[in-house]
Amino acid sequence: MESLPNPAPPTGVDTSSREADPVSDGMDLVSRLEVIEAQPLSVRADAYGSIHDEFSARLDADVTGRASRS
């Protein structure tokens, strides 16, 4: 039986820096939110701000995974 050649790696969008499992990523977020909610009210705003900054950076990233210029 003849084996097939390995397909070439995909070109274009680099997904190596992205999460492979969106469900796992969502569960990580839930865990982080639970930790934040357990903190005193005076500390929560900074923690939520950090999550906001992280998500903003992800949304502002271009297709190559690098932050876009403003």
Instruction: Give CA–CA dist 23/69, Å, rounded.
Output: 30
Instruction: Give CA–CA dist 67/70, Å, rounded.
Output: 9
The DSSP output letter for 19 is: -
48's CB contacts (< 8 A; 6+ apart) are 36
Contact criterion met (CB below 8 Å) for 43 and 50 = no
Q: Domain boundaries in the chain?
A: 24-60
3-40 tens-digit pLDDT: 544 444 444 434 444 545 666 777 899 999 999 999 99
14's CB contacts (< 8 A; 6+ apart) are 63, 64, 65
Give the model's pLDDT for residue 12.
Answer: 42
Look up the pTM and report it. 0.52
